[in-house]
Structure 1
Amino acid sequence: MTAPEPSPAPATDATDVTGENATEPAGPAGPAGPAPTAVLTVERPAHGGHFVARHEGRVVFVRHALPGERVRVRFTGTDDDASFWRADVVEVLEASPHRVTHPWPLADALFTAARGRAPVGGAEFGHIALDEQRRLKAAIFEEQLTRLARTERSVTAEPAPGEAADGLAWRTRAAFAVDAAGRLAMHLHRSHAVVPVRVMPLAVPAINALRLWALDFSGIERVDVAAPSGGGEPLVLLVPAAGTSPRRVAAVASSIDGASVGVLDAESGQVRRLSGRTWLQESVLGVDYRVTGAGFWQIHRGAPEALVSAVLDGLQPAAGERIADLYAGAGLFTVPLARAVGPAGAVLSVEGSAGTSRDARRNLHGQDQVAIVQGRVDAVLGRWSEPLDAVLLDPPRAGAGKKVVRQILDAAPRVVGYVSCDPASFARDLGYFLAAGWTLDTLRVFDLYPHTHHMESFARLLPPSA
């Protein structure tokens, strides 16, 4: 394909999409004035949404670039003691053939740099053709396996079931800030500064259809929105700013049409109903789940189906088996595992969040073969003495860690399934399994976050005797 011009014009009305005419912070600058710039040649991708370049012998992690490009960057982190610097692309001098027009001007580094500000976070790969995004993600995953797990593996990044050709309209959850004027807003990358937003192209249509950007959110600090897959209206959660009166919160809630509304206590995670219901019904492969507004659920509309299918294919749970579902959330995997092992089997569900653990209890009501324990995974496993046939873990971004891996190894299951949202922490934990003689049997990587650097994976691990 033909490389675009260095500063492509947006395909949409810039004022409507970005709030361009609003008062907002200027571009990155320090006490002495605007941040310095330099012309760099980009080398390769790196984990975290960055691309590697070098400046005067120092490694620079550049965002919004592509391998092989010659770009002008604005430095965003230049501490003398740092092992690397950070920078954002502000102009493309020699473009990659894989560079395309960004679908969201507010997150487009070139578009926003021309207007003296940084882009918002959340779509840092939007300037890359979708097939190339997946190729780069696969390469990054392979590099993490080589560097951290000391193993070679060819990886392919798979799209989610039903993925749109443009990779848009997939987010069923979105969190927004509120600017000083009470407008829906988003944070600039690595910044407390916010800019008003109209339309979020990555969000499912049900979220954009609420037109929350047209409302006055004065007195509200944060707005969380979720759209269910199992039917029913979206849920909007309001986090009031300190000192906001209940009357003001009620007035904001009454201005929202077409959604249930609640107040979220950001510290406790508790939700207070204002209108409608405080939970969402999700449906996955014919199974319904109830998830409270603040509870964890996969963000991509196709992610639950993709991951449940991968888990069941990988673990092959059988009637009568004993299985542990660690970091179990609201029971996305626990429910099908409980059905598979039946009343003669047993499933241990461990989740650290009290609210999400309550969701799991609702979703598994009547399943007497399931023990639902709320607490730290390492603490629960430390008290657990019964043998396990299979273990599934879906840890947060930091991974499971050496202690939990050791506890899993001590349980001597016939198979371990590892769902991960971070290739680096997964590769580190995989290294612990490999060092104990285990084998990486199946590995699937899913592009569940198009236009971002994030990805999800499922691994099937087998013990030395397998």
Structure 2
Amino acid sequence: MNDKPDWTGSRLEVEVGSAAHGGHCVARHEGRVVFVRHALPGETVVVEITEDKGGGFCRGDAVEVRSAAAGRVTPPCPLADPARGTRRCGGCDWQHADGETQLELKSSVVTEQLRRIAGIDHPVEVRALPGGLLRWRSRARTAVDGEGRPGFRVHRSHEVIPITDCPITMEAAVGAVTSRDWSPDSEVEVTQDVDDEVHVTAHTRDPRRGRVKRASQRVQGGEFAREEAVGRSWNVSAHGFWQVHPAAADAFAATVARMAATPFGGTAWDLYAGVGLFASVLAEQVGPAGAVLAVESARSAVRDATANLSDLPQVGFRSGPVEKVLGGRDLGAADPDVVVLDPPRKGAGREVVEAISARRPTRIVHVACDPAALARDVGLFVEQGYRLGEIEAFDAFPMTHHVESLALLERDVDYAE
């Protein structure tokens, strides 16, 4: 029986503690944990409870700041301002913090996740990418409310808040969405590529197929977006996978290249390869006599990668879920010298980690956009006889709680199988 009070709608004054994974800080009130958004460590705030399912914790938004931290600033977007109460856009978590404070918060979260989940004490410093905190977002997906107005959803809610601008999104991209009305309850995808061409696709429910299936219509731009990275030109599906921050692809690829250091003539695997960004770097390292196996589940991405890397015959592609491909028989006889993996937000998981480790690569480069998932996977690799060599982390998503981390795992020579 749940004997905890339901605080939903209540306003409480709390002293804010450290930042936690997910874009909030931790406070305590009457023996319960309160996860507070739009606050900073060390502040005293009034928090309005937005979600309370009983038990030892609840969630809320800071609606009044009684004592502000040194790093607090006025959010550039009014939809992230405490003065609006709790009806705020759920896309940005840290607009109320200056740039230096955001880096400190993210660094503390990645470090804490490694310590808490993987049991590894490894301080991490998150570094900024060029370009500043605003107008970096080149890809976005907006919801549309019942009146046909585009917007973003409230945190942990289906409610759509209409927007007239989004300060973190490139101006031409957001303008292409906000300049018109859309079919009610639809979704709109927008991409602004390296040539500043804007691609817009609307997704609406198809009444002939029910509420689950959607009909898509290209509204603006072409089927492919052009991007540039690692000295190459890339044609990728307009709304397919590509880094959202314009500086991210080159920064991540350079870090992967340095960490991988694949021997000339060697063998490398690129798992969750997307359109082949890291495969291209590995291919240059192994040279024509080497081999790179790129594995990707999305057929459209494999199609794009095959076309973009047609000048690199040392790259071979496998289409399918990574765990199934690794469990198959067409991986080749040669064990990889290096494995690079860039799994989805949930991480790779035990099955994939064990399949990689069984082939005993000398180095593994793990790319992750979720610190908790990274820590879980790192812990699994340590169980398999690897040690964490280093981590490079980048603020590829300013104003949000997301952070991109690249971890180098090396085979532990002291490990006894």
TM normalised by structure 1 equals 0.82
Identity among equivalent positions (%) equals 40
What amino acid is aligned across from residue 192 of structure 2 in structure 1? A
Distance 1:34 1:445, change over 3 A: closer
CA distance in 1, matches of 2:22, 2:219: 38
Aligned to 2:232: 287
Which one-letter code corresponds to 2:373 in the other structure? Answer: S
* 1:286-316 alpha-carbon deviations (Å, 9 max, x no partner): 2111110231111111110110010001111
- Taking the aligned partners of 1:93 and 1:76, their CA distance within structure 2 comes to 19
CA distance in 1, matches of 2:17, 2:8: 26
In angstroms, what is the RMSD of aligned CA positions? 2.2
2:346 to 390, 398, 410: 398
Classify 1:241/1:219 alpha carbon distance in 2 versus 1 (closer, same or farther; 3 Å). farther
Aligned with 2:126 (options 154, 157, 180): 157
Matched, 1:179 2:131: no
Aligned to 1:46: 20
Tell me which of 97, 100, 106 is aligned to 1:128: 97
| CA deviation map 1:24-65 (0-9, x unaligned) | xxxxxxxx9981111111111111111111121011111111
Alignment partner of 2:271 out of 319, 323, 326? 326
Could you report, residue by residue, the CA deviation over 1:436-461 in whole angstroms, capped at 9, with x for unpaired residues? 33221121111111111110011111
Shift of 1:367: 2.7
Provide the C-alpha distance between the structure 2 equivalents of 1:351 and 1:206, rounded to a whole number of angstroms: 31
The equivalent of 2:70 in structure 1 is 97
Structure 1 residue 192: deviation in Å? 1.1
Question: Offset of 1:267 from its aligned partner?
Answer: 5.9
Q: 1:297 aligns with which of 236, 242, 246?
A: 242
Once the two structures are TM-superposed, the CA of residue 402 in structure 1 deviates from its matched residue by 1.2
2:32 corresponds to which of 58, 72, 76: 58
1:358 aligns with 2:332: no
Structure 1 residues 322 and 76 mapped into 2: Cα distance closer, same or farther (>3 Å)? Answer: same
| Count of aligned residue pairs for this structure pair | 404
Q: Residue 112 of structure 1 corresponds to which residue in structure 2?
A: 84
Deviation sequence 1:381-421 (CA, Å, 0-9, x none): 11235211110000111111111111111111111111110
1:190 aligns with 2:156: yes
> Does structure 1 residue 78 correspond to structure 2 residue 47?
no
Q: Which residue of 2 aligns with 1:423?
A: 371
What is the deviation of 1:218? 3.1
Aligned equivalent of 1:241, options 205, 210, 233: 205
* Distance change >3 Å, CA 306–CA 380, structure 1 → 2: same
The 8 Å contact of residues 271 and 294 in structure 1, kept in 2 or not, is answered as: no
SS in 2 for 1:333: helix
Q: Specify the SS of the correspondent of 1:185.
A: strand
Kindly tell me: are residues 58 and 219 of structure 1, through their superposed partners in 2, closer, same or farther at Cα, counting changes over 3 Å?
Answer: closer
Q: Does the Cα contact within 8 Å between 1:53 and 1:61 map onto a contact in 2?
A: yes
Query: 2:342·2:366 contact (CA, 8 Å) conserved in 1?
Result: yes
Pair 1:145 & 2:114 matched: yes
The corresponding residue for 1:341 is 286
| Distance in 2, Cα, partners of 1:104 & 1:127 | 10
**Please, which runs of 5 or more residues in structure 1 have no aligned partner?**
1-31, 245-264
Aligned to 1:389: 337
> How much does 1:242 deviate?
3.2
Q: Secondary structure at the match of 2:390?
A: strand
Task: State TM-score, norm by structure 2.
Answer: 0.92
Gaps of 5+ in 2: 1-5
* Residue of structure 1 aligned with 2:322, choices 358, 374, 377: 377
Determine the C-alpha separation between the residues in 2 that align with 1:365 and 1:385.
21
- Contact 1:295–1:359 under 8 Å retained in 2: no
Task: Give the aligned residue type for 2:401.
Answer: H
Return closer, same or farther for 1:415/1:95 CA change in 2, 3 Å cut-off. same
**Are the aligned partners of 2:150 and 2:163 in contact in 1 as well (CA < 8 Å)?**
yes
The match for 2:356 is 408
Deviations 1:118-144 (A, max 9, x none): 111111100011101101111111111
Query: 1:159 is aligned with what amino acid?
Result: A
Any conservation in 2 of the 1:399–1:429 contact (CA below 8 Å)?
A: yes
| Local SS of the residue matching 1:143 | helix
